[in-house]
Structure 1
């Protein structure tokens, strides 16, 4: 599974992103379950929380991206985003 996360913030915030490949990882089943749960709480259109707040776009295996806002993140979204941004390339 290829998980891509892009974070953008504020009106002038440059997007930052990372991609995590789960193939060959011993924790892949856990990451796949986390990704399914996280996407279930995302929207298909951009979701902006507060002015100048972070907005996240999550895409899995090149499928249509899903969106969430920092102020409205579920635990699974927060965990997935942190994992991909910390360990992805």
Structure 2
């Protein structure tokens, strides 16, 4: 499973992109389950944009979800953190 996260916004307004392929990773199955939960979870309805917050576009095997801080579910936050850590 290929997971890509594009983070935009924040105080500096920059963009950061990171990807990971779960296939050959020892933690791959756990990341795949986390990705499935992140896709299934929905944040609060009627979300207002928060100034200087991060926005995320998450691509998971052809599916795309748009997320916004501070409205990420626990699974979504864990997934975003795990993928962005790959680029660090």
Which TM-score tier does this pair reach, normalised by the shorter chain? 0.7 to 0.9
Partners of 2:75 and 2:36 lie apart in 1 by 9
Correspondence list, 1:1-89, <5 A: 1-10=1-10, 13-42=13-42, 49-61=49-61, 63-88=62-87
Structure 2: gaps (5+ residues): none
Instruction: Name the SS of the counterpart of 1:51 in structure 2.
Output: coil
| Structure that is richer in strand per residue | 2
Q: Quote the Cα distance in structure 1 between the aligned partners of 2:37 and 2:49.
A: 20
Structure 1 residue 32: Cα displacement = 0.5
Q: Secondary structure at the match of 2:14?
A: coil
Secondary structure in 1 matching 2:81? helix
Give me the TM-score of the superposition, normalised by structure 2: 0.82
Paired residues in the alignment total 85
